[in-house]
Structure 1
């Protein structure tokens, strides 16, 4: 079995990633400051990722808990703008990611997957996107300190990958992560479509996000790659073409939009990772 350290394995997405990796035979170590849920199929070590020494040890091996790590999935972060003051968010997230990248390099770990964010696409889209569906082809457009930090992390990954052309650094630009219990609120979004315009009415089921994470780990890519990871539909029942026509009438549409399909383009992840998201809030409505 390959040993994978998952930072932030106690969070909403992290829990799903730990379950997915363990179900596929990986030896998983959850590294977090928050305790894991009961029964999680992973070892747990409490690590402050802003302390480089702790991260170095976590990615080499901790005492008699484990030794040697094959890959790292870095999900731990202050997860959204506004939860902490901007400076604190930047200082925590960017420093933690630098420490993970550096410690992985020092430990000889060449398989790194981490949580970037849909926010680098220009969220909350007060300035309209250059086209829809949005994708990975245009330059990042951070509009908050949180998003700026994610853009910096992607730039760091480019250079870590340049320093070692055999290594892989995959940034997954996750949309708004949802679990089953979150879907009860979705029908009410129809009452005010503008309440979800900030990310083009997108979301990602945590379990589909976990599958994308595993496939990124298992891919034979090298260098830096970024992927938008979103569910294949929107949070609304209205056709996506109608939403664009009403709320973004001057934004170019690069191809015909079918039904309720996502406006967060996931074609690259489908093509290069073989990812095929299956879950929709409509299955639980």
Structure 2
């Protein structure tokens, strides 16, 4: 269950310059929250207070998460924020070397949790990923649609980094009964302008088979974070954040018949229904996606 969604909070958001960060900050500001940005490069917007910090450096992380804005003395303090939203990461495989991707994402996550612990910050939302279930997906799936009970598997450096980040979060919550961590397993994030490419692979199942034809509109990621900051359950709680439909104009049952004919189905799937389930986020966070590529193509 969530607390009052109208409650104004002071929120530190890491990775504000990223694709997801832009949508998240927009949504949090629209909901009336106070946002403090953290990124390794200067903010690309001037409607929030922000600081430049490299989260792979623990000292900089500690300083940033104790910030109180453009204050006179520049001192840090405990409990500076109501919530930390940790988005900063190398966002996909092979942008950097595998070793760099893993080191960056895992080390930054550890530094955020350790600094939060010492600052007595007890509410954290992290950007995880559907890749913790084994992207690129192969034909050996226990059942579909994939949900929070599906086995986790890190099949590349990026997915493994997200899986380890989740494990870090789980262990910190075990050691601190007051800590709550909401992990949003975000699907392939899309902006409106990217939907114009969809007709190019409309009859090609191979093009997006790696992610079992899933996606999420960036605006819906923003609303999922706004819902998640009101999470009231302590402990570690992960949720798939994915659109209700696939990226294909082909009915999902036809896709299943061709690519996953022997995979058991867990529940009903609608005509163009996604093969990643967002039902847990709908139930626990009172969130649901509002945007579909079909509205733009």
One fold, TM greater than 0.5?
yes
How many corresponding residue pairs?
A: 284
Q: Could you tell me how far apart the structure 2 residues matched to 1:270 and 1:200 are?
A: 21
Q: Deviations along 1:86-137, whole A, 9 cap, x unmatched?
A: 1111110000000011111111111100111110111111253211100110
Q: Could you tell me how far apart the structure 1 residues matched to 2:267 and 2:192 are?
A: 31
- Pair 1:43-2:49 in alignment: yes
Q: Could you tell me how far apart the structure 1 residues matched to 2:25 and 2:128 are?
A: 18
Matching residue of 1:227: 239
For the aligned residues, what is the CA RMSD? Answer: 1.4
Q: Is the 8 A contact 1:175 1:203 kept in 2?
A: yes
Is the partner of 2:272 in helix, strand or coil?
coil
Matching residue of 1:187: 199
Q: Could you tell me how far apart the structure 1 residues matched to 2:10 and 2:284 are?
A: 24
Q: Deviations along 1:246-275, whole A, 9 cap, x unmatched?
A: 011121111222111111111100001111
- Pair 1:117-2:117 in alignment: no
Match of 1:155 among 159, 167, 170: 167
Give 1:36 shift: 3.0
Q: Could you tell me how far apart the structure 1 residues matched to 2:158 and 2:103 are?
A: 10
Q: Could you tell me how far apart the structure 1 residues matched to 2:294 and 2:41 are?
A: 32
Q: Could you tell me how far apart the structure 2 residues matched to 1:282 and 1:241 are?
A: 18
Is the partner of 1:243 in helix, strand or coil?
helix
Q: Is the 8 A contact 2:154 2:160 kept in 1?
A: yes
Matching residue of 1:9: 16
Give 1:35 shift: 3.4
Structure with bigger helix share is 1
Q: Is the 8 A contact 1:3 1:28 kept in 2?
A: yes
Match of 2:101 among 73, 85, 89: 89
- Pair 1:57-2:63 in alignment: yes
Matching residue of 2:5: none
Give 1:278 shift: 0.6
Matching residue of 2:287: 275
Give 1:63 shift: 6.8
Q: Could you tell me how far apart the structure 1 residues matched to 2:69 and 2:42 are?
A: 19
Q: Is the 8 A contact 1:232 1:262 kept in 2?
A: yes
Q: Is the 8 A contact 2:49 2:69 kept in 1?
A: no
Q: Is the 8 A contact 1:122 1:129 kept in 2?
A: no
Q: Could you tell me how far apart the structure 2 residues matched to 1:38 and 1:61 are?
A: 19
Which TM-score applies when normalising by structure 1? 0.96
Matching residue of 1:75: 87
Q: Could you tell me how far apart the structure 2 residues matched to 1:99 and 1:123 are?
A: 26
Q: Could you tell me how far apart the structure 2 residues matched to 1:35 and 1:281 are?
A: 32
Q: Deviations along 1:20-43, whole A, 9 cap, x unmatched?
A: 11111111011112333345x321
Q: Could you tell me how far apart the structure 2 residues matched to 1:8 and 1:64 are?
A: 19
Which TM-score applies when normalising by structure 2? 0.92
